[in-house]
Structure 1
């Protein structure tokens, strides 16, 4: 986080909260994909599903970093 960018953090907070809900969905997808890949390792589409779920889990942090970078110090 930037040293003097609290405004960007505050502006990005509502979007990060929405992204937090989406990341919970990503966690559920990731757990489902992990269980499915353990049961049937021949499913190669599960790897793409797991990668998408991990990117959804990281979404709130990406949004906060992006919003703080948009506000000049």
Structure 2
């Protein structure tokens, strides 16, 4: 029998801040400015889905400049 509950991991704000390596205050500021990762509010509890944190990081991941073997100087 399948569960009817979504079992995605959701982190508290302190846990999410640790995961992203930012301060709790930074996450709170991003939330108030609506510029940070997605989050869920249930009453006064804020939870960050792990997939949303990963999406946030992926959107800010850039490839370094690659050197082609024939173009090195």
TM-score by length of 1: 0.29
Which is bigger in relative contact order (C-alpha 8 A, separation at least 6)?
A: 1
> Which structure shows the higher strand fraction?
2
TM-score by length of 2: 0.29
